[in-house]
Amino acid sequence: MGADSRTRRGSSGAAPEVIQRREVRLAVTRFLAAGFAALVLVATPVTFWIRDAAEQHALANARDFTQRLADNVVGPLITPQLLAREPAALDELDQRVAPWLANGGVARIKVWDERGRVVYSDASSLIGHDFEQEEWARLLLAGGPATATVESQTAEENEFEASSGELVEVYVRSAARDGAPMIFETYSSGEAVRTEQHAVLLSMIPPVLLSLAVLQLVLLIPAVRLARRIQFHQGQRNALLRCAIEASDQERRQIASELHDDVIQNLSGLAYALESEERRGEPGHRQVFTDARTMLQRNIRALRAMTSELYPPDLEELGLKASIMRLEAPLVERGIAFTASIPEQVSLDRDQAVLAYRVAREALVNATKHSRASSVDIQIRQSGELTQITVSDDGQGFNPRTAYREGHFGLRILKDTVQQAGGSLHVRSAPGTGTFLTATFRAAAPTARWAGRYHSRSRGSHALGLEAT
């Protein structure tokens, strides 16, 4: 027995450290996961922003190139002879723009006058065609900004470019030699824009991601320290909670012991004395002694039930199931049907077992005294690391929100206690619908659990041992 106790103490002493490290690792893992999610959320719009900025930069370069080509090369050759479509003037302009067309920088060149007529194009069949003047063209001729887009060309005037895929289309304002306003239009391959986009992305994304990753790592150190500090304070809080629970248990045990050993024993002796006087007394006084003895015995039963409510039976001796089943007696006395579904093995440590018993006791006492129920059911289920206790009745129910304001603090105190122990307690009720109380605990550490095996003793009682695994 001594060796077992030492083993349990050693295991229990090591368990909090193991649990603390595991919870710190879990907190750090969650922090890293949240950081990675934030990294993705930040990097995604940044990537699109960089991609759009790179596209706008490439289009700005295309506008500048087109403007220089229009002002320095094509504009001076838009002469009255070219407007009259004289072959010599057209050939001269063809020769001047041929280098830009040959090296792939420009795929198509068009020059429009202010009436929407094509006065020059490297595709000679377009010269002289009139197209409807759109609003953007009138704005450009009036001094508006040049435009550049990258897209597939499907308009009426783009019969030669429709099959070329994605093209950069640029419109700039220029002037003929005599100063007449002209619209200069070029088409070039969209691959140059996409290539610049990719180059900018490849040059910008790595430093952005690296900066965010470094920021994540820098924040990781204080996050670990914070997690450990929180865990330390939580451990202190749990230790204080255990001390408070143990002090409360000790006080309840002392009150129950004094009631049982003094008050109940004295009252039981008085009941026997009244019974003796009832038998030997005068016939006229016997009914008085009978009524007094009956009242006294009723009060003795109430006091015995109160001692059971004040402090539970020895959970280590009887086990959680047997201790809860002892709470059936007050229900049966009031004619309330009681059903229970409790497994023989419940993996809870000592503190959790005591708290689980308190949850069951509080719920059953409330059902007995206040619910006016005809049936009460209690279930304990375990799944993985979770243990769930559900107590339900078919009574009159109540409003949990107003119950606290009306002075019913039992469930509120119990809820706070369960939460401080790392569990949760929920009460679902409404007038006329009964009450459902659910408490959830996490499984005890494997180093110190209530063993679920009941074994026989010489007196035929059952014990629920605390063993190290």
Q: Whose CA is closest to 356, among 464, 264, 456?
A: 464
Of 116, 123, 105, 111, nearest to 159 by C-alpha is: 123
Distance between the two ends of the chain, CA-based, in angstroms? 16
pLDDT digits (tens, 9 = 90+) for 112-147: 888 888 888 888 888 888 877 778 888 888 888 888
What letter does residue 130 receive in the DSSP assignment?
B
Task: Decide: 264 and 304 in contact? Cβ < 8 Å.
Answer: yes
What tokens appear for 78 in the block? 């838009």
Given pLDDT bands bounded at 50, 70 and 90, which one contains residue 409? low
* 20, 159, 266, 440, 451 from 235: Cα distances, Å: 9, 78, 45, 20, 25
What mean pLDDT is predicted for residues 195-203? 78
- Are the CB atoms for 141 and 114 separated by under 8 Å? yes
- Predicted local distance difference test score (pLDDT) of residue 269: 81
Give the lowest-confidence range in 60-64, 216-220, 384-388, 403-407.
403-407
> Which span out of 20-34, 83-97, 137-151, 247-261 was modeled with the highest average pLDDT?
83-97
pLDDT of residue 392: 92
442 bridge partner residues: 386
Contact at 8 Å (CB) between 396 and 371? yes
Fold of 25-189: Beta-Lactamase (3.30.450)
Sheet holding 181-189, edge to edge: 118-121, 108-112, 181-189, 166-175, 147-152
Give 62-84 pLDDT, tens digit per residue: 888 888 888 888 888 888 888 88
Taking CA atoms, 382 is separated from 321, 343, 379, 392, in Å, by: 14, 9, 10, 18
The number of beta carbons lying within 10 Å of the beta carbon of residue 224 is 15
With 60 as the cut, is the pLDDT of residue 51 above it?
yes
In the structure, what pLDDT confidence band is assigned to residue 367 with cuts at 50, 70 and 90?
A: confident
Please give the CATH number for the structural domain made up of 313-469: 3.30.565.10
Check whether 450 has a pLDDT greater than 80. Answer: no
| The predicted structure's pLDDT at residue 446 | 42
Residue whose structure tokens are 């006058």? 113
| Residue, of 13 and 89, whose pLDDT is higher | 89
Query: Beta partners for 466?
Result: 450
pLDDT of residue 229: 80
> CA-to-CA distance for 323 and 316, rounded, in angstroms?
10
Q: What is the pTM of this model?
A: 0.43
Domain parsing of the chain, residue ranges: 25-189, 313-469
* pLDDT score for 152: 65
Alpha helices in 133-190 (DSSP H): 135-141
DSSP 70: I
In the predicted structure, residue 454 carries a pLDDT above the cut 50: no
Which element (helix H / strand E) includes 159? Answer: none
In sequence order, the 6+-apart residues with CB closer than 8 A to the CB of 451 are 345, 464, 465, 466, 467
pLDDT number for residue 461: 33
pLDDT at 166: 76
- pLDDT for res 10: 38
Task: Identify the pLDDT of residue 13.
Answer: 39
| Look-up of token digits 């691959």 | 191
Extended strands (E) in 113-228: 118-121, 147-152, 166-175, 181-189
What is the residue whose two structure tokens read 């595991």?
Answer: 22
Higher pLDDT, 158 or 428: 428
- Position 223 pLDDT exceeds 60: yes
d(CA 419, CA 49): 46
What three-state secondary structure class fits 283? helix
- pLDDT at res. 162: 54
Instruction: Tell me what pLDDT residue 100 has.
Output: 83
Q: What is the pLDDT of residue 465?
A: 28
More confident residue, 104 or 79: 79
Neighbours of 348 (CB within 10 A): 23
Q: Tell whether the model's pLDDT for residue 236 goes beyond 50.
A: yes
Mean pLDDT, all residues of the chain: 76
> What are 308-363's pLDDT values in tens digits?
666 656 677 778 888 888 888 778 888 889 999 988 877 777 777 878 888 888 88
H or E element at residue 333:
helix 328-333
